[in-house]
Amino acid sequence: MGKCFLSGNEAFAYGICLARPQVISAYPITPQTIVVEKLSELVEDGSLKAEFIHVESEHSALSCAIGASAVGARTFTATSSQGLLYMAECLTYASGGRFPIVMMNANRSTALPWNIYGDQRDSLSQLDCGWIQAYAENAQESLDLALMSYYVAEHREVSAPFMANLDGFVLTHTYEVVEVPAKEQADSFLPPFVTENKMDFGHPRNLAFSAGPEHNTAFKYKEHIGLLNAKKVIAEAEEKFARIFGRQYTGLIESYRTEDADYILITLGSIAGLVKEKVDKLRAEGKRVGLIRLRYIRPFPNEELAGALKNAKAIAVLEKDVSFGNEGTVFTNVNSALHKAGISIASSNYIGGLGGKNISEADIEKIFEELKEEKTTIQFLGLGGAEKWVYPQGL
């Protein structure tokens, strides 16, 4: 198709179309709806040969995808916010069954208060469910991630479901110029789905069975190893993707101007674009600052982060999430990576963008300025002066 002017939702839908899923289970929820609407149009006009199944709930959408994957079909579904939480019971069925379902989640705040705008509390609340989790920065990466997600999820050494996250409205509904590959290119990148982990009358096997205390740990260990194996498979997928499509991605993290940076901001999703612009401006003023964008949260980039941060004087994690009663979930994971590597530097947590509240360039400049104090703080952005407390004294 070449270059097209697409929203993040539409770009992801075209990426899924190029992956040729055989079953799509669809239930609409804002701001995800456009993805399944576009796919329904592509099925209707013959661009995509797939079973498009209208279901009655998000719980049914993932249940349907599990059933289809269990008979060897490449499957796709999508959701957001409360819909993802309604699926929560099924998330562990998909991962425990080792079904490589791909699901797009349009990141959106969770209730209450009711809110349709974007933060990342929905997906980050489900980190322990055994799904690979990736976060796109822009529409082009959204399309490319749709293709790469199947390559990674379906790999025999991984065999895990994949949740691709797009920031609600900021990315899902924003239009950009996107390079849409030809079907022949996509076919050369992504092989047909082949698995032995399926119901087969010719070779009967037991799926989705019970396992008591004697065997349960072994199954969970294998599931854990599958996600750890995803690290090398992601690198393999990106190397092949670059050869075919000419676009190179950077693995679990993207480091931006961090080589000699004293102060580094860590974030994920679409806000990274604004942070890059601010890093460039501050660099032009002679300030040694940098950005690390977390492209994947599961598997978590422990070694990659430690290597990128070992020479920094102070770091900050900016995230659209909070684990109530503690701190930001991403902040916890980053500090764990530093501790395991024996790195002791000041680390601060900035919680912003909740319920879609704007994170401004001034907010980002404020973070970099405060990093010079080389203290550990936890702050909510946007509370108007009462938002700061210094760890560990509390509020």
Report residue 328 as tokens.
């930001």
Q: Maximum distance among all alpha carbons in the chain?
A: 68
Backbone angles phi, psi at 128, to 5 degrees: -95, 15
pLDDT digits over 233-266, tens only?
A: 999 999 999 999 999 999 999 999 999 999 999 9
Give the residue extent of every domain in the chain.
2-245, 253-390
CA 40 to CA 328: how far, in whole Å? 37
Q: Give the residue from 290, 288, 240, 291 showing the smallest Cα distance to 269.
A: 291
Which of the four pLDDT bands, split at 50, 70 and 90, describes residue 392? low
Cβ-contact 251, 232 below 8 angstroms? no
pLDDT over threshold 90, residue 106: yes
Alpha carbon distance, N-terminus to C-terminus of the chain = 54
Looking at residue 394, what is its pLDDT? Answer: 47
* In the chain, % of residues over pLDDT 90: 93
Backbone angles phi, psi at 178, to 5 degrees: -130, 135
Which of the four pLDDT bands, split at 50, 70 and 90, describes residue 203? confident
Please state, rounded to an integer, the average pLDDT across all residues of the chain.
95
- SS3 state at 56: coil
Which of the four pLDDT bands, split at 50, 70 and 90, describes residue 390? very low
* Residue that has been written with the tokens 């101007």 in this structure: 257
Least confident stretch, 102-106, 164-168, 207-211, 257-261: 207-211
Q: What's the rounded mean pLDDT across residues 224-228?
A: 98
Looking at residue 388, what is its pLDDT? Answer: 55
Which of the four pLDDT bands, split at 50, 70 and 90, describes residue 144? very high
CA 296 to CA 272: how far, in whole Å? 14
Query: What is the model's pTM?
Result: 0.96
- Tell me which of 3.30.930.10, 3.40.50.920, 3.40.50.10800, 1.25.50.10 is the CATH number of domain 253-390: 3.40.50.920
Q: Which helix (H) or strand (E) holds 319?
A: strand 314-319
- Tell me which of 3.30.930.10, 3.40.50.10130, 3.30.590.10, 3.40.50.970 is the CATH number of domain 2-245: 3.40.50.970
Q: What's the rounded mean pLDDT across residues 34-62?
A: 98
Domains 2-245 and 253-390 share a fold: yes
More confident residue, 204 or 109: 109
Q: Which long-range contacts (CB under 8 A, 24 or more apart) does 151-155 make?
A: 151/189, 151/190, 151/233, 151/237, 151/240, 152/230, 152/233, 152/234, 152/237, 153/100, 153/101, 153/102, 154/74, 154/100, 154/193, 154/195, 155/229, 155/230, 155/233, 155/236
- SS3 state at 304: helix
pLDDT digits over 17-42, tens only?
A: 999 999 999 999 999 999 999 999 99
* Residue that has been written with the tokens 């799904």 in this structure: 131
CA 8 to CA 12: how far, in whole Å? 6
pLDDT over threshold 60, residue 395: no
